[in-house]
């Protein structure tokens, strides 16, 4: 009897909760399935981050390019990726699915930096696309066609 109950408790201790812990990582951007537009989850889309800070305040987003690496054995990096960095995290998107990048900084002092290696068209607003909102925004375009609007400082 005593031996059986000891075994039961041992099984419980080794039971893994790994698969049951929900992913609480903020969603930094979303690819629109129809248009292939990569929508940065900032400004009016801050709520789409879902976890962590979901407020449209001072936001800083950076978009960079990660070329494919076929030399190693990891199949996950065998194609090019667009990387979105914000809020201390990084998320990778299959570059072949991204046709353009869109962001509205909304309220607050926002920063959006698109690396020069990113060649898809970019449309970025420091505030809201309709011209409302405010803050000192810093926008930097990538290597492709760019529309940058708004903010006290524009680059
Ligand atoms: Ca903002
Ligand atoms: Ca702003």
Order across the sheet with 81-86: list the strands.
Answer: 89-94, 81-86, 60-66, 111-114, 138-140
> Can you give the pLDDT at residue 19?
63
Q: Determine the distance separating the centroid of ligand 2 and the alpha carbon of 90, expressed in angstroms.
A: 21
Q: Are 102 and 41 in contact (CB under 8 A)?
A: no
Q: Determine the distance separating the centroid of ligand 1 and the alpha carbon of 136, expressed in angstroms.
A: 10
Neighbours of ion ligand 2 (CB under 5 A): 105, 110, 126-127, 135, 137
Distance CA 152, CA 136 (A): 5
Ligand nearest to the CA of 125: 2
Q: What string of DSSP letters covers 82-139? A: EEEEETTEEEEEEGGG--EEEEE--SS--EEEE-TT--S-EEEESS-TTS---S--EE
Q: Determine the distance separating the centroid of ligand 2 and the alpha carbon of 124, expressed in angstroms.
A: 11
| pLDDT one digit per residue (tens) for the chain, 155 residues | 444 544 444 444 445 555 667 778 999 999 999 999 999 999 999 999 999 999 999 999 999 999 998 888 888 888 999 999 999 999 999 999 999 999 999 999 999 999 999 999 999 999 999 988 888 999 999 999 999 997 544 44
Q: Determine the distance separating the centroid of ligand 1 and the alpha carbon of 59, expressed in angstroms.
A: 5
């Amino acid at each position: 009897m005593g031996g059986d109950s000891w075994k039961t408790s041992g099984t419980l201790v080794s039971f893994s909760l790994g698969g049951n812990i929900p992913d609480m990582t903020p969603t930094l951007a979303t690819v629109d399935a129809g248009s292939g537009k990569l929508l940065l989850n900032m400004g009016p889309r801050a709520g789409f981050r879902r976890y962590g800070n979901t407020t449209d305040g001072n936001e800083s987003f950076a978009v960079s390019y990660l070329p494919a690496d076929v030399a190693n054995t990891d199949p996950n990096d065998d194609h090019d990726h667009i990387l979105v960095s914000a809020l201390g995290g990084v998320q990778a998107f299959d570059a072949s699915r991204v046709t353009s990048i869109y962001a509205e900084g909304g309220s607050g002092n926002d920063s959006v930096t698109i690396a020069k290696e990113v060649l898809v068209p970019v449309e970025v607003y420091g505030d809201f696309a309709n011209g409302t909102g405010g803050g000192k925004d810093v926008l930097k375009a990538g290597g492709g066609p760019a529309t940058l609007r708004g903010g006290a400082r524009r680059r």
